[in-house]
């Protein structure tokens, strides 16, 4: 497999369920991201992991819990979500930016479409 792979592609869950989204990148990158895409809104950065350490957490509610066990895998654990959390969750990866080389290009997965009932 190549690129960034996300599973599941579609997920329907109740507000009391616990589920996880999985992302795997096969590009040898060392930074991974979770974004939330809702209709009519800019992409919202949720979490960034660089070299397996969390470097960004944009005031995301604690009902979203990320995990990055290694540089190729990223999870988003979900529990007690609200209907307004329904959205497309996009995973991305990049090579750590360098001052000489500029920012690394983001490579996105196809997303996990989450519906919270």
Give the residues lining the site for other proteins (CB under 8 A): 4, 6, 31, 33, 40-43, 45, 48, 50, 55-56, 90, 92, 94, 96-99, 102-103, 105-111
CB closer to other proteins out of 70 and 98: 98
CB closer to other proteins out of 47 and 64: 47
CB closer to other proteins out of 63 and 113: 113
Q: Which residues 6+ apart lie within 8 Å of 102 measured at CB?
A: none
Q: Which residues 6+ apart lie within 8 Å of 34 measured at CB?
A: 23, 45, 46, 47, 66, 74, 76, 89, 90, 91
Closest approach of other proteins to the CB of residue 25, in Å: 12
Closest approach of other proteins to the CB of residue 84, in Å: 18
Closest approach of other proteins to the CB of residue 15, in Å: 26
Closest approach of other proteins to the CB of residue 55, in Å: 6
């Amino acid at each position: 497999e190549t690129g960034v792979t996300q599973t599941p592609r579609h997920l329907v869950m109740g507000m009391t369920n616990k589920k996880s989204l999985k992302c795997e990148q096969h590009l040898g990158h060392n930074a991974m991201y979770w974004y939330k895409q809702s209709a009519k809104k800019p992409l919202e950065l949720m979490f960034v992991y660089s070299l397996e350490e969390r470097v960004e957490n944009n005031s995301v509610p604690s009902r979203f819990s990320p995990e990055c066990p290694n540089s190729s895998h990223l999870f988003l654990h979900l529990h007690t979500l609200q209907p307004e959390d329904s959205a497309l969750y996009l995973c991305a990866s990049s090579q750590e930016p360098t001052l000489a080389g500029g920012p690394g290009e983001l490579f996105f997965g196809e997303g996990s479409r989450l519906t919270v009932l």
